[in-house]
């Protein structure tokens, strides 16, 4: 069995899209998660888009990651967060 080459070169800045209900604390909660994986994460860098009806928020978090394992764990943490609906 052969392994495929990595598509990413680490460390790198990686954008992650997170969607959830437009609720108080959602942006802050996602910034807190991002900081747990990237201590230098700046919450001011979060791109925020509201859905057409305003019931949901789409966020883009661009984090500095150092390994595939770190990126996978970040995805797992986000997808299991109670405020998150979808992670892309």
Contact 20, 85 (CB under 8 A): yes
Instruction: Please tell me the distance from the alpha carbon of residue 86 to that of residue 64, in angstroms, as a whole number.
Output: 21
Q: Is the pLDDT of residue 1 over 80?
A: no
Task: For 34-78, write each residue's pLDDT tens digit.
Answer: 999 999 999 999 999 999 999 999 999 999 999 999 999 999 999
Instruction: Please tell me the distance from the alpha carbon of residue 43 to that of residue 41, in angstroms, as a whole number.
Output: 6
Question: Has this prediction a pTM greater than 0.75?
Answer: yes
Residue for token pair 């790198």: 12
Angle between helices 26-37 and 68-79 (to 10 degrees): 160
Q: Is the pLDDT of residue 4 over 60?
A: no
Tokens representing 81 are 């967060």
Domains of the chain: 12-87 (3.30.70.260)
């Amino acid at each position: 069995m052969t392994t495929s080459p990595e598509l990413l070169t680490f460390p790198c800045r990686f954008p992650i899209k997170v969607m959830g209900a437009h609720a108080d604390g959602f942006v802050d909660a996602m910034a807190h998660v991002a900081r747990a994986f990237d201590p230098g994460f700046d919450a001011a860098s979060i791109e925020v888009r509201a859905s057409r009806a305003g019931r949901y928020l789409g966020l883009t978090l661009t984090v500095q990651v150092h390994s595939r394992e770190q990126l996978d764990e970040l995805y797992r943490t986000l997808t299991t967060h109670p405020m998150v609906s979808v992670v892309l």
